[in-house]
């Protein structure tokens, strides 16, 4: 019989075993492809640059405590400290701002598109980050009022037309249109620069200001190995710049390779989408473990079939078939099943890509979106089939003729021990994954529900048009006329965010740095933030010709802030607020200050465009409609995206939620594959033991006793695996939690829940599968044997 005919013969004869194998393997291969899509996305982040090994991001400790770094630098400090180092080929800043809507006046206001990511940059940054142009060039980019746009933005607004020379309006700023001078190629999804982006020349903004630490610098060295030398020179120059009277750490500056910025966990303020290398490798391990579970099922099913196939194998030997030929056929069967499973896996991936779950994968995961992963999985499928078939093939052809005639290998102690070891590995993996998944879910819930030090319930937030900045009181009066709205306030942006304005100021003869958050004078009262020293802002602060600030307690401790004093630029220090979390809870609390600009020009530069509306919690849709209507009365063509503040804060944990979703999905799949294995093993074992079951029933055994006979084996296996899995899972979770400043407490219910899930599904599977054998007429069972 040819290998192909033999393959189809086996499929037909052993339908259940073949179906269970295909289910387990196809789920495993599909899971592996989906997981590797995410893994490749993270591991190849910012690796597309030709000079990737020589590009670094400059980071420093100016804004942080406890050894953390920030990716933000002052333009003046950059000029004085590292711009002239001979080992640095080029230095350039590129700063990410908020997302903006834009439109071309010549196309009318209906052409508004966005929001798009908005950057300001120096020309050298374009060279360092290797912008490539499809229209125009960066030659005029150093002129005021010029912008570059990506292909994605150009297509969104102009279709296939060349937009160079056209004018754009940013965020309704009709007085300052900008000219498009170039269109650059879209960057990969896993790059620092986003594809839906616009880059504007920064000009002289804060060029001589040593107090504004808002700018992200990249440098390209002449050789990678010079990085340590350059860092030492930068730290020495900075010490000279600030003077000997200021204490500066020896490692104040550091250079992080651009290929590592995605995984740099020690940066409090990073403009780059951040990931966790341990998480990436964990996902990769899960992909491998799921395939391992499926392989174990394959081997278990194959060894379970040996008693029924042994006579057929013996007949082949009698007819002249060699052991080598029989083994080749059996291995080919296994490889064939694996190939069939691979094609079924492609259908599963295609179906998955059209579901909401696909949004938890950062890169496209449709079939063919990444050919190396597809072909790699195909090779793994073939290898899986071959490796899984080797042991059963060699073992089934090595029995003595007497044992072959009896056909009872499936019940020998050696056969049972093999299956017990294999299924124990499955259970240990499944229990570990469930504990890790539940722990991550618990940490996410803990972060989203923790008291952050301010009120956040029943608060709606939204960006409002720039014109509202001068009409805040009018809008507030209008909104509070609605009985469902209890209070209104404004700020320069969302309250909880990873990045905001970062200021450096001179105070008591030394430089200090902190987060600055411009707010309306009633903001702290609105949020319920308590003043521990000094006073709160009041309406008089809005009329003063100087800036007023309220610092947090961390600033007070770190920089000896004293209420009633002025900073060297004349800024009033009016109060100290209790500490609160103004960043997601992955991060600790750094120096922070609320700011009111009074009548200074800063108010015009930083309008308070972020609206906070506190409601009584009733009829929220009607309140949202009222807000939109009220804003439209002041700015007719306004469009608002209104959200709950809780939802806004929850979005800060998007990556953690994605990880939780992925782990939940793949943990469930690992359990499903394991249960498929248990189902198959119990199915075969009940077939082999039907005679034993019949004899037991004739001697008075009840159905419950039959159930317990089968279940006690698997219950013991699950309990033993639980003891092994708990310390492994604890170590994994403990390592993962090191990335968070605030950690959920370890709770015993997570471990007990993992045990209950695996034990419950196993017992249920065994009961369902043994029911027929336990309730059969024992006379019929004895006749069949």
User: Count of CB atoms within 10 A of residue 110's CB?
Assistant: 7
Sheet holding 459-463, edge to edge: 485-491, 610-615, 459-463, 643-644
CA distance 747 to 758: 18
Distance CA 139, CA 120 (A): 16
Q: For 2-24, write each residue's pLDDT tens digit.
A: 555 665 656 666 676 677 778 88
Query: 665 pLDDT exceeds 90?
Result: no
Q: What is the pLDDT of residue 52?
A: 92
Residues 6+ apart with CB under 8 A from 44: 190
Residues in the chain: 785
Q: How many CB atoms within 10 Å of residue 499? A: 19
Contact 432, 346 (CB under 8 A): no
Q: What is the DSSP letter of 469?
A: G
The answer to whether 63 and 83 are in contact (CB under 8 A) is no
List pLDDT tens digits, range 453-475: 888 888 999 888 877 877 888 99
Q: What is the pTM of this model?
A: 0.74
Asked whether residue 378 carries a pLDDT value surpassing 70, the answer given is yes
Residue 495's contacts (CB-CB under 8 Å, 6 or more residues apart) are: 454, 517, 527, 582, 612, 645
> Residue 317: which pLDDT band, with cuts at 50, 70 and 90?
low
What is the 8-class DSSP label of residue 215? Answer: B
Name the residue with tokens 């701002």: 97
CA proximity to 463, closest of 297, 705, 628: 628
* Residue 8 pLDDT: 61
Q: What are phi and psi of 616, to 5 degrees?
A: -90, 5
pLDDT at 99: 67
The helix/strand/coil state of 577 is: strand
**DSSP conformation letters of 602-632:** HHHHS---EEEEEE-SS-HHHHHHHHHHHHH
pLDDT, tens digit, 9 for 90 and up, residues 712-740:
888 888 899 899 999 998 888 888 787 77
Mean pLDDT of 506-516: 80
Residue 239: is its pLDDT beyond 60? yes
Confidence of residue 410 (pLDDT cuts 50, 70, 90): very low
Range of lowest pLDDT (59-63, 98-102, 120-124, 454-458): 98-102
Lowest mean pLDDT among 61-65, 163-167, 322-326, 349-353: 61-65
- Percent of the residues in the chain that have a pLDDT greater than 90, as a whole number: 18
CB atoms within 10 A of CB 514: 26
* C-beta separation of 212 from 206 below 8 A: yes
How many DSSP H helices and E strands does the chain contain?
Answer: 22, 23
**Chain segment 194-231, per-residue pLDDT in tens:** 888 889 888 888 787 777 777 889 999 999 999 899 89
The β-bridge relationship of strands 133-136 and 178-184 is antiparallel
Question: Among candidates 673, 205, 201, which has minimal Cα distance to 430?
Answer: 673
**Residue 751 CA: distances (Å) to CA of 423, 626, 661, 736:** 20, 48, 19, 17
The secondary structure of residue 258, as a DSSP letter, is: T
pLDDT at 425 over 60: yes
Lowest mean pLDDT among 389-403, 629-643, 731-745: 389-403
Can you tell me the distance from the alpha carbon of 718 to that of 267, in angstroms, rounded to the nearest whole number?
A: 42
SS3 assignment, position 319:
coil
25 has pLDDT over 80: yes
Q: Answer whether residue 779 shows pLDDT above 70.
A: no
- Considering only 101-110, 382-391, 745-754, which range has the smallest mean pLDDT? 101-110
* 266, 121 contact by CB (below 8 A): no
Rounded CA gap, 316 and 309, in Å?
A: 11
* CA separation for the pair 439, 747 (Å, rounded): 9
Please report the sign of the dihedral spanned by the C-alpha atoms of residue 428, residue 431, residue 435, residue 437: positive
Question: Quick one: pLDDT band at residue 409, thresholds 50, 70, 90?
Answer: very low
pLDDT of residue 347: 92
More confident: 39 or 672: 39
The residue-averaged pLDDT of 662-671 equals: 74
Q: Using one digit for the tens of pLDDT, what is the confidence trace for 67-99?
A: 678 788 888 888 888 767 789 999 988 887 766
Output the six-digit token pair for 619: 């009829």
What pLDDT score does 576 carry?
94
Residue that the structure tokens 């409601």 belong to = 615
Whole-angstrom Cα distance, residue 596 to residue 172?
Answer: 25
Average pLDDT over all residues of the chain: 80
d(CA 522, CA 527): 9
**Quick one: pLDDT at residue 427?**
82
> What is the Cα–Cα distance from 533 to 555, expressed in whole angstroms?
13
Structure tokens at 251: 């490692």
Q: In the predicted model, is pLDDT for residue 784 greater than 60?
A: no
Whether the per-residue pLDDT at 1 is higher than 60: the answer is no
Q: Which residue has the higher pLDDT, 588 or 613?
A: 613
pLDDT digits (tens, 9 = 90+) for 592-617: 899 998 887 776 667 888 899 999 88
Q: Which of 677, 18, 22, 21 is nearest to 341 (CA)?
A: 22
d(CA 126, CA 139): 11
Would the pLDDT of 104 be above 90? no
Rg (alpha carbons) of the chain, rounded to whole number: 33
Residue 406 has pLDDT above 60, yes or no: no
Cis peptide bond N-terminal to 218, omega within 30: no
- pLDDT greater than 60 at residue 782: no
Q: pLDDT band at residue 276, thresholds of 50, 70 and 90?
A: confident
**Average pLDDT value for residue range 233-243:** 83
């Amino acid at each position: 019989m040819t290998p192909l005919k033999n393959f189809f013969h086996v499929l037909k004869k052993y339908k259940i075993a073949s179906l269970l194998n295909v289910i387990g393997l196809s789920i495993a291969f599909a899971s592996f492809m989906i997981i590797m899509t995410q893994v490749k996305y993270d591991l190849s982040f910012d690796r597309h640059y030709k000079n990737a090994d020589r590009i670094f991001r400059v980071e420093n400790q100016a804004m942080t405590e406890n050894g953390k770094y920030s990716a933000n630098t002052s333009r003046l400090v950059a000029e004085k400290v590292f711009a002239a180092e001979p080992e640095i080929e080029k230095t350039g800043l590129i700063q990410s701002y908020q997302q903006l809507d834009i439109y071309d006046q010549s196309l009318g206001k209906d052409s508004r598109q966005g929001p798009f990511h908005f950057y300001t940059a120096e020309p050298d940054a374009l060279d360092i980050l290797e912008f490539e142009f499809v229209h125009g060039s960066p030659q005029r980019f150093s002129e005021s009022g010029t912008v570059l746009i990506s292909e994605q933005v150009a297509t969104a607004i102009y279709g296939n037309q060349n937009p160079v020379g056209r004018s754009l309006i940013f965020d309704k700023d009709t007085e300052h249109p900008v000219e498009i001078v170039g269109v650059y190629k879209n960057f990969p999804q896993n790059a620092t620069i986003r594809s839906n982006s616009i880059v504007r020349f920064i000009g002289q903004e804060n060029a001589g200001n040593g107090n504004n630490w808002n700018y992200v610098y990249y440098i390209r060295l002449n050789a990678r190995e010079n990085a340590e030398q350059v860092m030492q020179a930068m730290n020495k120059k900075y010490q000279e710049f600030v003077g000997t009277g200021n204490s500066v750490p020896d490692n104040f500056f550091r250079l992080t390779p651009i290929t590592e910025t995605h995984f740099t966990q020690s940066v409090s303020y990073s403009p780059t989408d951040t990931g966790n290398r341990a998480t990436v490798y964990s996902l990769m391990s899960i992909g491998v473990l799921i395939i391992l579970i499926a392989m174990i099922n394959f081997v278990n099913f194959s060894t379970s079939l040996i008693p029924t196939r042994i006579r057929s194998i013996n007949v082949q030997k009698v007819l002249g078939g060699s052991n080598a030929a029989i083994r080749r056929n059996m291995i080919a069967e296994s490889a064939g099943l694996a190939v069939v499973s691979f094609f079924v896996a492609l259908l599963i991936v295609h179906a998955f890509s059209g579901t909401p779950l696909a949004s938890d994968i950062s890169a496209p995961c449709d079939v063919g979106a990444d050919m190396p992963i597809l072909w790699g999985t195909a090779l793994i499928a073939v290898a899986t089939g071959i490796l899984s078939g080797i042991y059963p093939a060699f073992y089934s052809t090595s029995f003595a003729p007497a044992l072959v005639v009896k056909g009872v290998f499936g019940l020998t102690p050696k056969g049972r021990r093999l299956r017990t070891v294999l299924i124990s590995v499955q259970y240990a993996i499944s229990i570990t994954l469930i504990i890790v998944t539940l722990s991550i879910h618990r940490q996410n819930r803990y972060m989203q529900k923790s008291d952050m030090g301010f009120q956040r319930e029943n608060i709606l937030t939204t960006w409002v048009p720039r014109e509202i900045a001068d009409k805040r009181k009018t809008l507030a009066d209008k909104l509070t006329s609605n009985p469902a709205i209890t209070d209104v306030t404004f700020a320069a942006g969302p309250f909880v965010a990873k990045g905001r304005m970062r200021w450096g100021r001179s105070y008591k003869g030394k430089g200090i740095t902190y987060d600055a958050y411009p707010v309306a004078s009633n903001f702290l009262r609105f949020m319920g933030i308590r003043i521990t020293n000094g006073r709160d802002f009041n309406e008089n602060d809005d009329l003063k010709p100087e800036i007023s600030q309220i610092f947090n307690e961390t600033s007070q401790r770190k920089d000896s802030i004293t209420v009633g004093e002025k900073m060297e630029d004349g800024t009033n220090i009016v109060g100290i607020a209790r500490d609160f979390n103004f960043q997601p809870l992955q991060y600790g609390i750094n120096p922070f200050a609320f700011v009111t600009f009074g009548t200074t020009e800063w108010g015009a530069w930083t309008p308070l465009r972020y609206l906070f509306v506190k409601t009584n919690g009733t009829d929220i849709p009607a309140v949202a409609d009222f807000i939109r209507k009220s804003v439209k009365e002041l700015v007719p063509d306004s469009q608002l995206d209104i959200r709950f503040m809780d939802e806004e804060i929850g979005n800060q944990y998007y990556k953690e939620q994605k990880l939780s979703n992925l782990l939940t999905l793949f943990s469930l799949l690992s359990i499903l594959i394991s249960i498929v294995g248990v189902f198959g093993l119990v199915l075969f074992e009940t077939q082999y033991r039907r005679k034993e079951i019949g004899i037991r029933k004739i001697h008075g055994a009840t159905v419950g006793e039959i159930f317990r006979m089968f279940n006690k084996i698997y219950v013991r296996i699950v309990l033993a695996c639980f003891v092994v899995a708990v310390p492994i899972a604890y170590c994994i979770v403990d390592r993962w939690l090191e990335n968070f400043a605030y950690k959920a407490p370890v709770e015993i219910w997570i471990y007990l829940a993992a045990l209950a899930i695996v034990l419950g599904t196993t017992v249920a599977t065994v009961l369902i599968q043994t029911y027929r054998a336990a309730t059969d007429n024992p006379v019929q069972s004895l006749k069949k044997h």
